[in-house]
Amino acid sequence: MSAPGLGAFSHVTIGVADLDTALGFWQQNFGLEVRVDRQGPDQVLGLLWGIDPLTITRQAIVGTPIGLGRWAAAGAMHLVEFRDPLPPVRRGAKAWDLLPKNLDLYTTDLPARYLELEAAGHQFRARWAEMRAGQHLFREVQMPGHDEINVVLIEAIGPGYDTTMSTKGYAGIGPLVTIVPDAKAETSFYREVLGMATTVELQLSGPDIERTAGLPPGAGLGLRVFGDPEDPLGRIEIIEYQRLEGEDLYPRAKPPATGILHMNYRVKSLAPVRTRLRAAQIAVTEHGALSALYGSGPILSCHSPAGFRIEVQGET
């Protein structure tokens, strides 16, 4: 029997130039809330990321509230403010460049949410669009966020997407979207090495997806989503564009840059995932037992074939 695999990610780490601006974006627009907020440098993160601890000036965990003092276990954000940060990961990027691209938020009644945000002054790449996939109907629209991140609002109509929404009608992060050069290699990594389930698999082309994703005529894409089939939050989505060759911007996605940097999983024991990674001859960095803002325990890190960093933390 193979070692147990990963499911939903606990949080995605996002570098920010101004934490108050970032918190205002998530709280005021989407009703997400701050679980914990810490001021000052962080020796632990400095060690984990190989940067000067004084570079870190403030950090917060933001998540979906599911009751008084209770939070969704997956799909949170770890926002880290840096002193003199590097440029945003997505600065100047084309829609098909290789990088961590989108943060997807679930919502209900997307047409109504779209009008609310538009009335509040937000701008969108295009009007919301919808597509069918089997027994599901997906509606989505893209909007710019802080630090040049791309936010996608998704309404998923059909089985398997029930989740608690904030008072403003949003939940997330659902899928974290990465653009990759080789979907086959990335799929093998997430499915065979990390043992994740495939929750969505689609091939898309035509004017609607060209308009929604900002693609030139004739381009298309293949996408796959991996995670916990029982939890729509904390999933990782890979997209490979067809007839397009993007620049590799994954080397930008590391602290102290701003934008989407990496994702973190919490597990009872690191042994199963360590066994899987070593069997596949994936390079692993062991960071030892660390106590971070988001939890305590031993941490290891690795990279997907495309170059996206993944941290996994076990229990103490």
Which of 188, 209, 242 is at the close of a domain?
242
134-148 confidence digits (pLDDT tens): 788 999 999 999 999
49-58 confidence digits (pLDDT tens): 999 999 999 9
Same domain, 185 and 76: no
138-196 confidence digits (pLDDT tens): 999 999 999 999 999 999 998 889 999 999 999 989 999 999 999 999 999 999 999 99
Segment 267-280 mean pLDDT: 96
Q: What angle do CA 255, 173, 210 make, to 5 degrees?
A: 90
Instruction: Name the domain count of the chain.
Output: 2
76-82 β-sheet, strand order: 33-39, 56-63, 76-82, 11-16, 259-266, 309-313, 295-303, 285-292
Same domain, 146 and 66: no
Which of 219, 242, 265 is at the close of a domain?
242
Q: What is d(CA 265, CA 120) in angstroms, rounded to the nearest whole number?
A: 35
What is the CATH classification number for the domain harbouring 286? 3.10.180.10
Determine the structural domain holding residue 70 and report its residue range. 11-88+252-313
Query: How much of the chain, in percent, has pLDDT values that exceed 90?
Result: 84
pTM of this structure: 0.95
Same domain, 21 and 72: yes
276-290 confidence digits (pLDDT tens): 999 999 999 999 999
CB 311 within 8 A of CB 263: yes
**Within-domain flag for 69:** yes
